[in-house]
Structure 1
């Protein structure tokens, strides 16, 4: 039998692994922020959620970042880990079908909470998502699985998703097999080396401290840096933090983006990172170059999650880069909770409740996390990117608020923002986007970019 291939001279015929975008006109990508959610919401009493769900369902592909584990504590075989991502997030199994009901069909799952409950929690979460036909990427039984693109079939084209994280617990990083050693389950990590930038005077003081410590031996050290207590300090114009991404991790992620695009019509890269800290409305200094490299490799949308508040938007080569979409759901009725978290906030499980620990975390935070007392952590946007001619034609930004002033049991569920709040959210996002050369109109409480 003879196999007849299409005419290779005709335009559009390709056997070279093209990374061209190929979706039907009108394709819409809906992307939102972190999903910190512990229970199903669509059947509950949440005024304002209905119109939000309607918007989510209208996208050809709707993406969020799942920042919880899904399991039934009554039959769960795992346990809370000694290393956890700042809180133990746990959700009921009924969350799986509820996320599908909300309209989510594609989720990133590489983040600092993916292994709060160990490998067992990660596996159980992935099982629930698979049962509900929700495509997810970023975790797996080894690094190859965690790093690979996963695919969603839509009527306007096939969508690939690659998910990675720069903020993660050390034990959660997936690894390849090596010789007889098997691979390690976990997430697709992008390792960063953090350096602290100081003035010349500060550096000299640090050098004196370092030189006075026992066990120090003078080496051929650069004059513009000091290594003290395993931290590198270097001279710069303004004190702050500088991050250097691991070149091997970057190359692997870009290759997986390229591969994901070669096997799909449209590709998304999701990156979860808190750097330089949740206090910052600006992305870490490595991220713009990394995001642009991802677009160059074939990604059509770059979505960052992690710092729990909005950061700016950039349009690069007719592709949107969202440097943080903040929180979309922070319905964190956190139970069960590991004993370590009671200790972290000075609580006693024989006296205090899980809710009182959650309240302490929300208000006082930890290290560089300011907690969630500021209303800014309860304000976000739904982004709707429409593509025509395989390029971004329009970007709409719909402001949402999560009920900062409500009591714990009702707080954290999104509703469309009131007109004054919508104006405030979009004005802030305008200001944060201007350094990236992005400006957008505000029309009837909606941010709008037309290309």
Structure 2
């Protein structure tokens, strides 16, 4: 009897150690939507402090092994604004970079239609300021560099990130001699993705695309996302629409067509104050599961949406995803994708 009891204890210890080892080998990738640090957000930052927007979500960002967002403006004090509508020219104060680091961000995408609002000087300053805070900038072209992929190693797994915009920056003349954002080139993107895949174990591609305030992806988005996965991407993350768009499972890989806003002002259109934080669990080179955390934006601050508010956001995401994915499970105020 004692032998059986001892064997039972030993078996239990072995199982617990094995489960602990599995957790140690798992990497959590966190993804959020658009981050705007100007206009109405700037006013709130000056009133409440530069750490204010992240107060309710920083624990999630910090627990992520790699936390990712889309930075929707340059961070600079220099430069001449681009030639476009003044109310659509943005830039953030340099104090923001420290706050972004303290919030837990590891990588920020710059491939969007506002990163060049203060032209090449603005994006150069943004890159330098982020790098000083040990935040990796993504989605820009630099005449001094040949590789545009960012590779980050966590728990023995190499994670590669590529960032592209389908939109050219407004009011700015492109020159291959100056820093710029990376744009989608349908003739070369397949080759670029295949090359990037050889440099990593798990490849994430961020696209700035789609129609503003549309809850459903366009055919162009679907086609481009499928090409990315066909060529080797493990995960596709989208931005720009300012609202949530559906999630698709394609060849057993996930496509999040838009994560909507994250830190933003002017929640005038329906859905612009609703978003999710995506927590992807990766082991070796495989996605083991996804947790969806519903978020409600209040006074430029993302807040975890609880109970009925959270379920409402997740149910709408399920509606947008109808016909694209088999199931999004809602349990205890969170969403899950197996």
Q: TM-score range with shorter-chain normalisation?
A: 0.7 to 0.9
Alignment partners' CA distance in 2, 1:85 and 1:379 = 27
Aligned 1:319-330 pairs, distance under 5 A: 319-330=253-264
Q: Report the equivalent of 2:308.
A: 420
Q: Report the 3-state secondary structure (helix = DSSP H, G, I; strand = E; otherwise coil) of the residue aligned with 2:129.
A: helix
Is the alpha carbon distance of 1:156 and 1:32 closer, same or farther for their aligned partners in structure 2, counting shifts above 3 Å? farther
Aligned 1:396-411 pairs, distance under 5 A: 396-403=291-298, 411=299
Aligned 1:224-239 pairs, distance under 5 A: none
1:140 offset after TM fit, Å? Answer: 2.7
Deviations 1:172-201 (A, max 9, x none): 57554xxxxxx34311112xxxxxxxxxxx
Q: Report the equivalent of 1:216.
A: none
TM-score (norm 1): 0.64
Q: Report the equivalent of 1:269.
A: 205
Q: Report the 3-state secondary structure (helix = DSSP H, G, I; strand = E; otherwise coil) of the residue aligned with 2:295.
A: strand
Whether the aligned pair in 2 keeps the contact of 1:291 and 1:321 (CA below 8 Å) is yes
Q: Report the 3-state secondary structure (helix = DSSP H, G, I; strand = E; otherwise coil) of the residue aligned with 1:376.
A: coil
Q: Report the equivalent of 2:14.
A: none
Aligned 1:17-416 pairs, distance under 5 A: 25-38=25-38, 46=52, 49-72=54-77, 76=78, 78-83=79-84, 87-142=88-143, 145=145, 148-169=148-169, 172=172, 176=176, 183-190=177-184, 249-273=185-209, 275=210, 277-330=211-264, 332=265, 362=266, 372-403=267-298, 411-416=299-304
1:436 offset after TM fit, Å? Answer: 0.6
Alignment partners' CA distance in 2, 1:97 and 1:374 = 31
Q: Report the 3-state secondary structure (helix = DSSP H, G, I; strand = E; otherwise coil) of the residue aligned with 2:64.
A: coil
Is the alpha carbon distance of 1:43 and 1:171 closer, same or farther for their aligned partners in structure 2, counting shifts above 3 Å? closer
Is the alpha carbon distance of 1:174 and 1:315 closer, same or farther for their aligned partners in structure 2, counting shifts above 3 Å? farther
More helix by share: 2
Q: Report the equivalent of 1:432.
A: 320
Q: Report the 3-state secondary structure (helix = DSSP H, G, I; strand = E; otherwise coil) of the residue aligned with 2:293.
A: strand
Alignment partners' CA distance in 2, 1:100 and 1:145 = 24
Whether the aligned pair in 2 keeps the contact of 1:115 and 1:186 (CA below 8 Å) is yes
1:414 offset after TM fit, Å? Answer: 0.6
Alignment partners' CA distance in 1, 2:204 and 2:89 = 28
Alignment partners' CA distance in 2, 1:84 and 1:109 = 20
Is the alpha carbon distance of 1:302 and 1:290 closer, same or farther for their aligned partners in structure 2, counting shifts above 3 Å? same
Q: Report the 3-state secondary structure (helix = DSSP H, G, I; strand = E; otherwise coil) of the residue aligned with 1:295.
A: helix
Is the alpha carbon distance of 1:287 and 1:444 closer, same or farther for their aligned partners in structure 2, counting shifts above 3 Å? same
1:415 offset after TM fit, Å? Answer: 0.9
Alignment partners' CA distance in 2, 1:163 and 1:146 = 15
Whether the aligned pair in 2 keeps the contact of 1:149 and 1:257 (CA below 8 Å) is no
Deviations 1:14-68 (A, max 9, x none): xxxxxxxxxx841221111011124669966849x43411011111111111111
RMSD: 2.5
TM-score (norm 2): 0.84
Q: Report the 3-state secondary structure (helix = DSSP H, G, I; strand = E; otherwise coil) of the residue aligned with 1:91.
A: coil
Deviations 1:291-331 (A, max 9, x none): 1221222222100100000000012233221000000111x
> Which structure 2 segments of 5+ residues have no match?
1-23
Alignment partners' CA distance in 1, 2:187 and 2:25 = 32
Q: Report the 3-state secondary structure (helix = DSSP H, G, I; strand = E; otherwise coil) of the residue aligned with 1:282.
A: coil
Q: Report the 3-state secondary structure (helix = DSSP H, G, I; strand = E; otherwise coil) of the residue aligned with 1:264.
A: coil
Whether the aligned pair in 2 keeps the contact of 1:139 and 1:145 (CA below 8 Å) is no
Whether the aligned pair in 2 keeps the contact of 1:36 and 1:66 (CA below 8 Å) is yes
Q: Extract structure 1 runs of 4+ deviating beyond 6 A.
A: none
Deviations 1:144-171 (A, max 9, x none): 9597212223334222211110123355
Alignment partners' CA distance in 1, 2:63 and 2:150 = 21
Whether the aligned pair in 2 keeps the contact of 1:139 and 1:146 (CA below 8 Å) is no
1:421 offset after TM fit, Å? Answer: 1.2
Is the alpha carbon distance of 1:28 and 1:86 closer, same or farther for their aligned partners in structure 2, counting shifts above 3 Å? farther
Corresponding residue pairs, total: 309
